[in-house]
């Protein structure tokens, strides 16, 4: 009986809804144009996400373990950021990657991506880690610890600027607003500092920042075209979608913009449209319910706990998930396996802390 008890996984408030997401995703394989590929991709990726979620929940039992996990994530970001600065110093020719419209942004010659595949993925990762550091920094009473955490935020923020990822910059605005709402409205004074900092930035940064309000470059035009094609996919197959992982296979049939069968488009550059297209509108609604439910549990802990470190970690996690959610309107960084695993890890941390007794201390 003792052995059986050890083998049984802890129950969570989201077991049923996560199981529903697993089922709906599996059902979409049946309508995929390549069922073998979809099944292979499904059990490899979904298996990883569910495994990391329940491994964290069942093994993160003490506050010390939580601290080690969070500090490990922060330490990994330092390594990633240092390599990003190395790329910037030595220069990375981005013209071959076609990440930027060279005609509209002639001053923009270098975009760093560090150990990730492209600058937008690096930016998404930095938003997550910056959120964690800000949450902890705001709730840390120790002056040295507070200075260390906000120094880390400054370093990560500098690296984020050098990604030139406009969607991630907007995510930081949302993260700042959330911290002002959940912690202290004085945080919102940061918005007055941003224009001052912008004055000292490289011309490429200013041009990139202003293009948010006038998105006429080829990157923005392509995104809008992809969204139109993806909406057409959703309208054609709203229930089960086009099949898990099948976006790149189906897109040529809905290519209204490029008209080039040789071009491979792997995702819709919009998390919500992409998920709805591949596993259907019901699958998207379940996914959104999972995000909402976990954020609600985290804010519940945040309002109840007397432990400032736990409060900081929960504020950071909520801000990180919000950052990914906002970024999802213009990109789909969780198409990357590492970023999706990080997303499920953050949700697992919320439940592990919500179930722990130390959250009340």
For 220-262, how does the pLDDT look when each residue is reduced to its tens digit (9 = 90+)? 788 899 999 999 999 999 999 999 999 999 999 999 887 877 7
Residue 190, token pair as written in the block? 């940061």
- Look at residue 213 in the predicted model and tell me its pLDDT: 55
Q: Is residue 297 within 8 Å of 13, Cβ to Cβ?
A: yes
In the chain, the largest separation of any two C-alpha atoms, in whole Å, equals 69
Which residue reads 């099948």 in tokens? 246
- Look at residue 264 in the predicted model and tell me its pLDDT: 85
Split at pLDDT 50, 70, 90, the class of 99 is very low
- Look at residue 106 in the predicted model and tell me its pLDDT: 47
- Look at residue 221 in the predicted model and tell me its pLDDT: 84
- Answer with the residue of higher pLDDT: 21 or 90: 21
Q: What is the mean pLDDT of the chain?
A: 86
Split at pLDDT 50, 70, 90, the class of 102 is very low
Split at pLDDT 50, 70, 90, the class of 105 is very low
Q: Return d(Cα 93, Cα 99) in angstroms, integer.
A: 10
Number of C-beta neighbours around residue 261 at 10 A: 10
Q: Is residue 98 predicted with pLDDT exceeding 70?
A: no
Which residue reads 């197959």 in tokens? 237
Q: Is residue 4 predicted with pLDDT exceeding 80?
A: no
Distances (CA, A) of 136 to 145, 152, 351: 9, 11, 18
Highest mean pLDDT range out of 64-78, 213-227, 256-270?
Answer: 64-78
**What percent of the chain stands above pLDDT 90?**
64
Residue 277, token pair as written in the block? 């297209």
DSSP class of 9: P
- Look at residue 198 in the predicted model and tell me its pLDDT: 56
pLDDT tens profile 170-228? 898 889 898 888 888 877 776 666 655 655 555 555 565 555 556 666 677 888 999 99
- Look at residue 209 in the predicted model and tell me its pLDDT: 55
Q: What is the mean pLDDT of residues 48-77?
A: 95
Q: What is the mean pLDDT of residues 3-30?
A: 85
- Look at residue 189 in the predicted model and tell me its pLDDT: 73
Q: Is residue 108 predicted with pLDDT exceeding 70?
A: no
User: Nearest 5°: CA angle at 144, between 201 and 128?
Assistant: 50
Q: Is residue 100 predicted with pLDDT exceeding 70?
A: no
pLDDT tens profile 116-132? 888 999 999 999 999 99
Q: Return d(Cα 154, Cα 193) in angstroms, integer.
A: 13
For residue 334, count CB atoms less than 10 angstroms from its CB and return exposed for 0-12, middle for 13-18, buried for 19 or more: buried
pLDDT tens profile 298-355? 999 999 999 999 999 999 999 999 999 999 999 999 999 999 999 999 999 999 999 9
Q: What is the mean pLDDT of residues 65-69?
A: 95
Number of C-beta neighbours around residue 67 at 10 A: 14
Q: Return d(Cα 207, Cα 202) in angstroms, integer.
A: 9
Q: Is residue 119 within 8 Å of 99, Cβ to Cβ?
A: yes
Q: Is residue 345 within 8 Å of 334, Cβ to Cβ?
A: no
**If you count DSSP H runs as helices and E runs as strands, how many of each does the chain have, helices first?**
14, 0
- Look at residue 259 in the predicted model and tell me its pLDDT: 81
Q: Return d(Cα 76, Cα 115) in angstroms, integer.
A: 11
């Amino acid at each position: 009986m003792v052995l059986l008890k050890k083998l049984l996984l802890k129950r969570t408030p989201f077991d049923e809804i996560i199981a529903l997401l697993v089922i709906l995703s599996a059902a979409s394989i049946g309508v995929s144009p390549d069922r073998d590929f979809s099944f292979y991709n499904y059990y490899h990726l979904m298996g990883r996400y569910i495994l990391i979620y329940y491994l964290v929940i069942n093994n993160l039992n003490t506050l010390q373990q939580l601290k080690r996990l969070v500090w490990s994530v922060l330490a990994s970001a330092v390594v990633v950021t240092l390599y990003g600065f190395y790329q910037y110093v030595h220069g990375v020719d981005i013209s071959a990657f076609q990440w930027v419209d060279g005609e509209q942004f002639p001053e923009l010659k270098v975009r760093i991506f560090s150990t990730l595949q492209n600058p937008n993925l690096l930016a998404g990762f930095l938003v997550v880690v910056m959120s964690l550091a800000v949450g902890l920094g705001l709730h840390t009473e120790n002056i040295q610890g507070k200075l260390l955490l906000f120094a880390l935020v400054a370093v990560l923020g500098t690296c984020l600027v050098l990604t030139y990822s406009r969607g991630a910059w907007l995510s930081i605005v949302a993260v700042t607003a959330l911290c002002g709402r959940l912690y202290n409205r004085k945080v919102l004074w940061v918005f007055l500092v941003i224009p001052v900092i912008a004055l000292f930035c490289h011309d490429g940064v200013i041009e990139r920042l202003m293009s948010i309000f006038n998105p006429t470059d080829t990157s923005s035009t392509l995104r809008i075209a992809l969204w139109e094609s993806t909406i057409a996919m959703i309208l054609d197959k709203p229930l089960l979608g086009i099949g898990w992982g099948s976006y790149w296979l189906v897109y040529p049939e809905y290519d209204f913009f490029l008209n080039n069968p040789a071009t491979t488009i792997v995702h819709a550059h919009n998390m919500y449209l992409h998920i709805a297209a591949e596993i259907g509108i019901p699958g998207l609604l379940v996914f959104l319910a999972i995000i909402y439910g976990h954020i609600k549990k985290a804010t519940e802990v945040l309002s109840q706990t007397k432990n400032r470190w736990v409060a900081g970690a929960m504020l950071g996690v909520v801000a990180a998930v919000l950052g990914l959610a906002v970024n999802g309107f213009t990109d789909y960084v969780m198409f990357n396996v590492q970023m999706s695993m990080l997303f499920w890890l953050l949700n697992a941390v919320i439940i592990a802390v919500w179930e722990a007794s130390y959250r009340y201390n």
